[in-house]
Structure formats: structure tokens, C-alpha cells
Amino acid sequence: MVMFNQQHAFHCFVLAALLLLPRCLFAEVLVVTGANSPSITVSRNQVSDLFTGKVAFLPGGATAVPVDQPESNPLREEFYSKVSNKSVAQVKACWAKLYFTGRGVPPREGAGSDDVKKMVNSMPGAIGYIERASLDGSVKIIFVAQ
């Protein structure tokens, strides 16, 4: 007969809790552009600045068109946390201020990673973010948010 002690029970609880966490908490967030877009690389700060309205141009001078995941997608919260150390609510407040003062328009919103990939391929200067599991040949990685 196997006896469970408190330490064994604790380890089982931790393992069960980890298995129940949403997969996006472990997702690698990729910032992407269309496969036929000019090759660029961007830093974490540049990505943050583009998606929070601090800058409107990509390296090289092209007008940036940031594309967000839907607000209901947990990947959006993870992305902003990783690149700007802000919550979605904080970023939304920044955009509201910029929008109402006429200094910016919030990122376009895709319906999910497949839609984001289509959008970055159909608009010059568009960049978006997806989880690694959605990566395919239709996009190229310009930054990995970790």
C-alpha cells in the first residue's frame, strides 16, 4: 500500500496547477511582418513604442501599422506585459489619451493569429504578434518577446 505524505500531496497539487494554467502563459510571442515585407529587426523598446503610440515609423522610415490580437485573447495581455511592462488596461488608457488629443490611432485589431497574419501580409508596414504555434511561411519574425 502506498502512503501519501504532505510533501507528496503538495507536489501533486503543484503539478496539477501547472497543467491547468492556460497555454499562453508559456507561449513565446513572436512579432511578425508579412513574408514579402522588407527585412527589419526591432528591439523590445521599439516594439513597445510602436504598439503604445510613441512612434509611428518602422526602422528604415516606413509608416508602421501595428495589428493587435483581440482584447479577449490572453496573448494580448502577455504581449504587452512582455514588451512594455504594462497591462492591456494601461495601454488602452494611453491610446485613449492619444486618440482624443488627435495624436494617434490605436492599433488595428485582428480576430486571432490567422487574421493577424493575413493583415500583416495585406498592408505595407503592418506588424503584429502571434504565438509560435501559429508560425508559418506567410510571415517573418522580426522580434521574439520573452
Domain membership flag for residue 17: no
Question: What's the structural domain count of the chain?
Answer: 1
Q: DSSP class of residue 68?
A: E
Which value, to the nearest 10 degrees, does the dihedral of the CA atoms of residues 48, 50, 51, 54 take?
Answer: 80
Q: Is residue 86 part of a domain?
A: yes
Predicted TM-score (pTM) of the model is 0.81
65-113 pLDDT tens trace:
999 999 999 999 999 999 999 999 999 999 999 999 999 999 999 999 9
Burial class (CB in 10 A: 0-12, 13-18, 19+), 128: buried
Across the chain, mean pLDDT equals: 88
Residue at 4 is within a domain: no
Residue 78 included in any domain = yes
Which residues span the domain enclosing 131?
Answer: 24-145
Say if 104 falls within a structural domain: yes
pLDDT at 5 over 50: yes
According to the model, what pLDDT value does residue 27 have? Answer: 73
Q: Is residue 12 part of a domain?
A: no
Task: Tell me whether residue 84 is in a domain.
Answer: yes
Q: What is the pLDDT of residues 104-131, one digit of tens each?
A: 999 999 999 999 999 999 999 999 999 9
Residue 67 sits in a domain whose CATH number is 3.40.190.10
Give domain status of residue 37, yes or no: yes
